[in-house]
Structure 1
Amino acid sequence: MKKRILSVALVAVMALSLALTGCGGDKKSGGDDGDKAESKGKKVGVAMPTQSSERWIKDGKNMKEKLEKLGYEVDLQYAEDDVQAQVSQIENMIATGANCLVVASIDSSALVNVLKQAKDAEIPVIAYDRLLMDTDAVSYYASFDNKGVGTAIANYIVEKADLENAAEPQTIEFFMGSPDDNNAVLLHEGVMEVLQPYLDNGKLVCKSGRTSFEDTCILRWSQETAQQNCENYLSGFYADEDLDIACSAFDGFAYGIKAALEGAGYTDANWPLITGQDAEVMAVKNITSGKQTMSIFKDTGLLADKCVTMVEAVLEGTDPEINDTETYDNGKLVVPSYLCTPVAVDKDNYQEVIVDSGYYTEDEIKNAE
């Protein structure tokens, strides 16, 4: 009887030891997944537009990491600017049991039907950085102040070109965002609200005459189209006079403008002021070398944080943090939004804003290609 008691005790000790070893082994074998929280059994579909722009890669990576740390399964998909591919990806997310969708659209008008499927399935949808238009299926919107981005670009031009005190008119051409992106419309509004008075009083001269959104928008934010437009402006309107300012809504446009200027023989002596948006690492490198004047820094880590808190709130039945309930009317409803603040970055403050914050290292900027 005594032997039997000892045997049972020994088995119990061995079982406890194995259990403890097993727990330790699972934790160790997790590797990079060690920071993930225990699964909550809920799945989030994240639909991003493209990997051709660095900012969307960072957005997707940040979103996935932060959601997984909260214990959610994440299905992250990039559609490479193929509208139908994005529709199919979202359909698949719905079919495979997503409990929430985060959508940065390519063309939101093409998503109306698939978003209705999400609503019918009672799946909440959060618009990420690009407002989803003409649908009542969107619950919340996380973005930057897009009109504020345009205002920041224009105010920078006013200050750096010293338009208040300039003795001579300065020439300007506009390169605005995609017509299927509501953010681009708001950005143009912000730009023109500030710069239109200077166009009216002659301190700014747009020799092409193209200042309206319809005349300056560039489909799918195409760098190649921006370069072609700039080449056409330079050959058609600036053969005998320099272009002073290129008001560009995107870093990718600035790269195309840079190529067009180099092809036209511009040098440091007559290089124009060039704006941008997103503070991509190549843009920051160009800023340090004088080939781009400024960019709008949009901290995608901060934006991802705000969107993730929205996702967590809707999945756990609480109210997310909102700071705008008036601006973003998508044609069906005013979408409750959280708007982050954009920051203008140039040669004078990139170190403080970009490097000191850890967003990029000096080596990343120096070695950008």
Structure 2
Amino acid sequence: MKKLVSLLLIATLVMSLLALSGCGKTEEAPATPDTTTETPTEEPAEPSEDGTVDIGIVLPTKEEPRWVQDEQRFLDAIGSTDYSVEILFSQGDSGREMQNVQTLIAKGIKVLIITPQDGDAAAAAVQEAKAEGITVISYDRLVTNTDAVDYYITFNSISVGAAQGQFLVDNLGDGTGENLYLYAGAATDNNAFLFFEGAWGVLQPKIADGSFVVQNSSKAVEYMNKAELTREEMGEIIEQITTDWKPEVAKSKAESHITAAPPSGKTFILAPNDGTARAIYDQFAREEGLEIYVTGQDAETASIQYVIDGKQSMTVLKDVRDLVKGAITTATEVLEGATIETNGEYDNGAVVVPAKDIQVITVTTDNVQETIIDSGYYEASEFTGL
């Protein structure tokens, strides 16, 4: 009996130990949350201790070839200096533009170069930069209605429009009653007003005497006898003919204008830039029997090919290498405390901004080899038919 009791006690003890062992394998304490791995909130970068970012550049979008090309040109230009640069794109969003400026401010920049998406909206961003003692350089487009702009680096925008208008007048000959279709850039862009002002100054006398007949703007017809338009009057016309700088908008407007006022014979088109010029030309070229004269600007590679092919009639070459050089030279002069030389000035609605005006060149089939290829602006291998 004693042996039986002993065996029973041993068996009970063994079963208890096995049960305890099994619980240890299947039950685990819940994991303690790891608070150190939470995603950090986005905040502006802290300025580097040695001020490694000297010049901040904000460009409007990567969706247009012009600004992507400018990015590389800026990097090439800054490479020949002892200064550092950071380039950010706003992607057509004024809110993002503000964030870009704030990011660059936090990185300790001393000079801000900015091409505003919207001239008025950018005022708040550059005011923040100016409040931090940063020199503000408006590049290609003017930031408006603020005293926080120190310099403006630009091609003379009025002369660009004048070159476009003059090309159309030169090809008018002795014609009278010829169709004229007007298009403009974005109503939010001060440059669009300057381009149109330059073109209107050349075209208006020929509109007033009946040589040109405007087909797609009732406001342009209403003001046809006014050699000089007020800002408000230009705005009324531009609202009717704006492309917003977008080829798809230009295409849509061209389609509706062709439907409303079908072109015939010689057809003259004031297109504000190359992207819109190609889109507009492609729509008008679908109509039979037209002799199309269409302007442009920026000398984009696709439009140079259009010029070579006899499609787009002209483009205004604004040698961006010179514009970039002007901006970087001004920025480095500011950093070095040198005297800034300017050759123009622009009223931005709040102050008169000292400017560096860069010369523009009219490119046609007659001089495309000289102005584009021989100058080294583009390589001949990029084109056919030269």
TM-score above 0.5, yes or no: yes
> SS at the partner of 2:73?
helix
Structure 1 residue 68, shift from structure 2 partner: 2.9
Q: Which of the numbers 51, 54, 70 marks the counterpart of 2:65?
A: 54
Q: Which of the numbers 88, 93, 108 marks the counterpart of 1:77?
A: 88
Structure 1 residue aligned with 2:270? 247
> SS at the partner of 2:252?
helix
Structure 1 residue 272, shift from structure 2 partner: 0.9
Structure 1 residue 217, shift from structure 2 partner: 2.2
Give 1:96's aligned amino acid.
Answer: K
> 1:187-198 to 2 correspondence within 5 Å?
187-198=195-206
Looking at structure 1, the residues matched to 217 and 169 of structure 2 have their Cα atoms a distance apart, in angstroms, of 19
Looking at structure 2, the residues matched to 306 and 174 of structure 1 have their Cα atoms a distance apart, in angstroms, of 32
Looking at structure 2, the residues matched to 303 and 207 of structure 1 have their Cα atoms a distance apart, in angstroms, of 35
Q: Residue 224 and residue 243 in structure 1: after superposition, are their counterparts in 2 closer, same or farther (change >3 A)?
A: farther
Looking at structure 2, the residues matched to 199 and 97 of structure 1 have their Cα atoms a distance apart, in angstroms, of 53
> SS at the partner of 1:45?
strand
Please state if 1:109 is matched with 2:109: no
Looking at structure 2, the residues matched to 196 and 258 of structure 1 have their Cα atoms a distance apart, in angstroms, of 23
Structure 1 residue aligned with 2:384? 366
Give 1:236's aligned amino acid.
Answer: A
Q: Which of the numbers 216, 239, 257 marks the counterpart of 2:280?
A: 257
Contact 1:171–1:207 at 8 Å: present in 2 too?
A: yes
Structure 1 residue 337, shift from structure 2 partner: 0.2
Give the gaps of 5 or more residues in structure 2.
1-49, 221-236
Structure 1 residue 41, shift from structure 2 partner: 4.7
> SS at the partner of 2:327?
helix
Give 1:330's aligned amino acid.
Answer: N
> SS at the partner of 1:272?
strand
Structure 1 residue 299, shift from structure 2 partner: 0.3
Q: Which of the numbers 184, 189, 199 marks the counterpart of 2:192?
A: 184
Looking at structure 2, the residues matched to 308 and 209 of structure 1 have their Cα atoms a distance apart, in angstroms, of 40
> 1:104-143 to 2 correspondence within 5 Å?
104-143=115-154
Work out the percentage of aligned pairs sharing the same amino acid.
Answer: 30
Structure 2 residue aligned with 1:231? 255
| Deviations 1:315-362, CA, capped at 9 Å, x for gaps | 11111221013xx11111100000011111010001000000011112
> SS at the partner of 2:353?
coil
The root-mean-square deviation of aligned C-alpha atoms, in Å, is 1.7
> 1:331-342 to 2 correspondence within 5 Å?
331-342=349-360
| Deviations 1:49-105, CA, capped at 9 Å, x for gaps | 112222212222112221232111111111221221111111100111111100011
Contact 2:119–2:190 at 8 Å: present in 1 too?
A: no
Question: How many positions carry a matched residue from both structures?
Answer: 319
Looking at structure 2, the residues matched to 222 and 315 of structure 1 have their Cα atoms a distance apart, in angstroms, of 36
Structure 2 residue aligned with 1:292? 312
Please state if 1:201 is matched with 2:206: no
Contact 2:66–2:298 at 8 Å: present in 1 too?
A: yes
Structure 2 residue aligned with 1:14? none
Please state if 1:346 is matched with 2:381: no
Contact 1:172–1:243 at 8 Å: present in 2 too?
A: no
Please state if 1:320 is matched with 2:340: yes
Structure 1 residue 209, shift from structure 2 partner: 3.3
Q: Which of the numbers 209, 214, 218 marks the counterpart of 2:239?
A: 214
Structure 1 residue 169, shift from structure 2 partner: 1.8
Looking at structure 1, the residues matched to 188 and 248 of structure 2 have their Cα atoms a distance apart, in angstroms, of 18
Give 1:198's aligned amino acid.
Answer: K
Structure 1 residue 197, shift from structure 2 partner: 1.0
Normalised TM-score (structure 1): 0.83
Give 1:231's aligned amino acid.
Answer: E
Looking at structure 2, the residues matched to 317 and 42 of structure 1 have their Cα atoms a distance apart, in angstroms, of 17
Contact 1:103–1:128 at 8 Å: present in 2 too?
A: yes
Contact 1:251–1:283 at 8 Å: present in 2 too?
A: yes
Please state if 1:278 is matched with 2:298: yes
Give 1:214's aligned amino acid.
Answer: E
Normalised TM-score (structure 2): 0.79
Structure 1 residue 161, shift from structure 2 partner: 2.1
Give the gaps of 5 or more residues in structure 1.
1-38
